[in-house]
């Protein structure tokens, strides 16, 4: 499942980022494999807002669809 598929309020673990350029972009934002985030908000064909360590970050649609996650809760 990708970050786009995760339900709002769910906590997910980032497993992998499928494209090399997207991987670099996600890591620069602090979202590498093994990172746990909570999905706060999703906009249709827009960004996914996630919370990590007390901060909210909007991840663009194209990047979010390249991030493979596992649901933790």
* Tens-digit pLDDT profile for residues 44-66: 889 999 999 999 999 999 889 98
* Average pLDDT score, the chain: 91
Question: Rounded to 10 degrees, what is the CA torsion of 29, 20, 10, 43?
Answer: 80
In this prediction, residue 18 carries a pLDDT of 85
Q: How many domains does the chain have?
A: 1
Here the tokens at position 54 are: 């007390």
Question: pTM for this structure?
Answer: 0.86
Q: What is the model's pLDDT at position 32? A: 85
What's residue 12's pLDDT?
A: 98
H-state helical runs in the chain? 20-28, 61-64
Most confident of 7-11, 21-25, 60-64: 7-11
Domain holding 52, by residue range, is: 3-71
**For the domain that residue 22 is a member of, what is the CATH number?**
2.30.30.90
Token output for 10: 């769910």
């Amino acid at each position: 499942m990708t970050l786009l598929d995760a339900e709002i309020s769910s906590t997910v673990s980032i497993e992998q980022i499928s494209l090399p350029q997207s991987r670099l972009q996600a890591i620069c934002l602090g979202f590498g494999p093994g990172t746990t985030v909570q999905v706060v908000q999703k906009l249709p064909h827009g960004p996914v807002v996630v919370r990590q360590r007390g901060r909210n970050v909007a991840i663009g649609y194209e990047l979010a669809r390249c991030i493979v996650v596992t649901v933790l809760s």
